[in-house]
Amino acid sequence: MEYIKRHIRDVQDFPSKGVLFKDLTTAFKDARALHVIGWDLSQLYRDKGVTKVVGIESRGFIGGSILAFELGAGFVPARKPGKLPADTISMSYAKEYGTDTIEMHRDAITEDDIVVLHDDVLATGGTMAAAYALVKSMNPKKIYVNFIIELASLNGRAALPPEAEVTSLIVY
Ligand code: AMP
């Protein structure tokens, strides 16, 4: 864990003034840190029978793919509007300024699936709350929620439903 932490770069005032951005590209580019992230994430879900990992565009695609591979599960992208080619379902959510929307393929999840929803960072939780609602609407057996980094001071967990089982590798 300490090894991963040492490879996370703090960028002040990105993407806007006052935000301390947790940059994981410096961890992903280090072979050992990338390996440890994949291994540590997978250890959280090893015995849970996970069948699909849903990664949120775009930084959630990296850890989500590694996690899916490690677990022997499938990978499903949750994307920005207009990117997925087939029939989609979508969910909109409030951002600091205006709203945003995420989409998934309508046939991405079945009622037999056990799902891990993954993103790199939990900040205010708005993005994950929308993704959670979207996956829930497809009625899988179980949904787990996972982050590499959780920014506890922003209290993103409060945006998620109380029944959501949230696990983060690193909490700041
Ligand atoms: P949220 O506020 O939880 O909806 O976060 C939206 C997205 O922005 C997440 O998917 C994160 O990848 C990213 N994000 C928000 N705040 C930060 C931050 N301080 N450092 C790194 N990524 C962030």
* pLDDT one-digit tens code per residue, 114-153: 999 999 999 999 999 999 999 999 999 999 999 999 999 9
Nearest CA to ligand 1 atom 6: 127
CA distance 45 to 143: 11
CATH of the domain at 94: 3.40.50.2020
CA distance 4 to 112: 34
Count of the separate structural domains present in the chain: 1
How far, in Å, is the centroid of ligand 1 from the Cα of 59? 9
pLDDT band at 66 (very low <50, low <70, confident <90, very high): very high
Query: 9 catalytic, yes or no?
Result: no
Asked whether residue 125 is assigned to any structural domain, the reply reads yes
Asked whether residue 70 is assigned to any structural domain, the reply reads yes
CA distance 24 to 133: 26
Mutate to test the pocket of ligand 1, among 121, 132, 145, 149 (most ligand atoms within 8 A of CB): 121
pLDDT band at 95 (very low <50, low <70, confident <90, very high): confident
Asked whether residue 21 is assigned to any structural domain, the reply reads no
**Residue 50 confidence (pLDDT) above 90:** yes
Cβ partners under 8 Å of residue 34, min gap 6? 27, 28, 66
Domain extent at residue 81: 48-171
Asked whether residue 9 is assigned to any structural domain, the reply reads no
Asked whether residue 81 is assigned to any structural domain, the reply reads yes
Cβ partners under 8 Å of residue 145, min gap 6? 116, 117, 128, 132, 160, 164, 165, 166, 167
Asked whether residue 102 is assigned to any structural domain, the reply reads yes
For residue 49, the one-letter residue type is G
Average predicted confidence (pLDDT) for the chain: 97
Q: Summarize the confidence of residues 3-20 as an average pLDDT.
A: 96
Q: What pLDDT score does 89 carry? A: 98
**Residue 96 confidence (pLDDT) above 80:** no
pTM: 0.97
